[in-house]
């Protein structure tokens, strides 16, 4: 009898304990998920889920993320038409350490909690260095010349020796593929140089240069360029032009020197001519006195003969002077021919020289005509 009483008591106790559990047993399920299965520092996490069957109205539940350091995220979420989500958040901060994290969505009456997991790893700390990488090239290059490209590589304020250039390319005008510049020649204080010969028939235009250098696992880029122009005279053409001009100027100098010598000779001959004319004039001045003193035709004839002799000498001097003028003219013509390459200066010199020759010739002709007329008048009077 005592055993039956004990059994009844135990059954009643069990019913009292289990009755609330049966009355409040879960009838729905909650699922929850993240947008990725793993994350690293700084990435964004999105959490969504469902409640099935969809509860009436818009009840709220709690979404919580727990990791090795404890709870790192907790937010309420509203269930609408059986779905819920929380605002995206970033996995960053002191509480986010490497490990496995559990997402829990629950607190909705009549629904069992939903869970999911993901892993998180902190990103390794990277140290960045201050790198200066600059390049420059020849500004204008002529066809047939060599273009020069230089670069400066400095890391954390110190020049980089034996820099690891992982790229050095040249794009020529109109090309679709680059040309490799080849290995650089190291210079002082982190400087490097490349040379690139330009063919005589190379296209004109902009040549673009791209350089890449790798330092401590990071690659840095820079670019420069140069222009090839065929409209500018080459250094050889300029040298040839200067040689020709120098030769022309030398010829002009030589011709002008010869003209100067001829003009100097003409000066001496003009002095002699002036002396002859002065002697004749003196002789002519004695004729009236001789006529009064002597009254003899014979003496006058002798005097006229002297004058005739003087005129002959004068004529000879004039002939020499004419020859000198001809020489001067020839020298002037030579100077004019040599100066044709110099154009304006030569023409001015030619005009000046020709004007001088004409002036001298006119003066000599006028003097000769005057002297002959005076002699003719004197002879007429004496006869």
d(CA 104, CA 153): 54
158-159 and 146-155: which strand pairing? antiparallel
Q: Cis before residue 173, ω within 30 degrees of 0? A: no
What pLDDT, on a 0 to 100 scale, did the predictor assign at position 363?
Answer: 44
Residue 246 C-alpha from the chain's centroid = 32
Give pLDDT, residue 37.
Answer: 97
Residue tagged 């909690």 (tokens): 113
Closest among 355, 354, 335 to 345, alpha carbons compared: 335
* Dihedral of the alpha carbons of 39, 43, 44, 50, in degrees to the nearest 10: -10
DSSP letter for 274, please: H
Structure confidence at residue 277 (pLDDT): 63
Cβ atoms within 10 Å, residue 347: 13
Distance of CA 314 to the CA centre of its chain: 74
Tokens at 187, concatenated? 């210079």
| DSSP 8-state code for residue 81 | T
pLDDT at 238: 57
Alpha carbons 198 and 179: distance in angstroms, whole number: 13
| DSSP summary character for residue 37 | S
- The predicted pLDDT at position 161 comes to 85
Our measurement of the distance from residue 53's CA atom to the centroid of its chain's CA atoms, rounded to an integer in Å, reads: 74
> What are the beta bridge partners of residue 101?
118
d(CA 275, CA 296): 29
- Report residue 47: phi and psi, to 5°: -120, 130
Distances (CA, A) of 11 to 6, 24, 199: 9, 20, 108
> pLDDT in tens for each of the 383 residues of the chain?
444 444 443 443 333 333 343 444 678 999 999 999 999 999 999 999 999 999 999 999 999 999 999 999 999 999 999 999 999 999 999 999 999 999 999 999 999 999 999 999 998 755 556 899 999 988 888 988 999 999 999 998 899 888 889 888 888 888 888 888 888 899 888 899 999 898 888 888 889 998 999 988 888 999 898 899 877 655 565 566 567 667 766 776 676 576 567 667 766 766 776 676 676 667 666 656 655 554 455 555 666 666 667 667 666 766 776 676 576 567 656 656 665 655 554 444 344 334 334 344 444 445 555 554 565 555 455 44
């Amino acid at each position: 009898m005592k055993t039956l009483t004990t059994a009844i008591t135990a059954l009643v106790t069990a019913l009292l304990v289990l009755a609330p559990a049966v009355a409040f047993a879960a009838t729905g399920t909650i699922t929850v998920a993240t947008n990725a299965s793993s994350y690293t520092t700084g990435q964004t996490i999105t959490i969504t889920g469902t409640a099935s069957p969809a509860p009436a109205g818009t009840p709220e539940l709690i979404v919580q993320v727990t990791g090795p350091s404890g709870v790192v995220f907790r937010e309420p979420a509203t269930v609408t038409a059986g779905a819920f989500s929380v605002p995206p958040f970033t996995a960053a901060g002191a509480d986010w350490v490497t490990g496995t994290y559990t997402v829990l969505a629950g607190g909705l009456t009549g629904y069992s909690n939903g869970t999911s997991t993901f892993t998180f790893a902190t990103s390794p700390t990277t140290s960045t260095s201050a790198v200066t990488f600059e390049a420059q090239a020849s500004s204008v290059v002529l066809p047939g010349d060599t273009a020069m490209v230089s670069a400066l590589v400095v890391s954390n304020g110190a020049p980089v020796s034996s820099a690891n250039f992982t790229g050095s390319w040249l794009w020529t005008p109109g090309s679709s593929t680059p040309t490799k510049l080849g290995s650089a020649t190291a210079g002082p204080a982190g400087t490097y140089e490349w040379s690139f010969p330009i063919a005589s028939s190379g296209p004109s235009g902009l040549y673009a240069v791209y350089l890449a250098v790798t330092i401590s696992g990071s690659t840095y880029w820079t670019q420069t360029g140069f222009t090839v122009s065929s409209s500018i005279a080459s250094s050889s053409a300029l040298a040839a032009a200067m040689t020709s001009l120098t030769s022309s100027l030398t010829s002009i100098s030589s011709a002008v020197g010869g003209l100067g010598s001829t003009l100097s000779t003409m000066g001496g001959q003009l002095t002699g001519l002036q002396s002859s004319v002065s002697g004749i004039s003196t002789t002519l001045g004695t004729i009236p006195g001789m006529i009064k003193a002597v009254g003899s035709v014979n003496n006058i004839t002798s005097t006229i003969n002297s004058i005739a002799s003087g005129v002959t000498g004068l004529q000879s001097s004039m002939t020499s002077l004419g020859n000198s003028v001809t020489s001067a003219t020839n020298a002037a013509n030579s100077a004019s021919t040599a100066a044709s390459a110099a154009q304006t200066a030569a023409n001015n010199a030619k005009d000046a020289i020709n004007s001088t020759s004409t002036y001298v010739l006119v003066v000599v002709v006028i003097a000769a005509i005057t002297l002959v007329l005076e002699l003719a008048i004197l002879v007429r009077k004496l006869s």
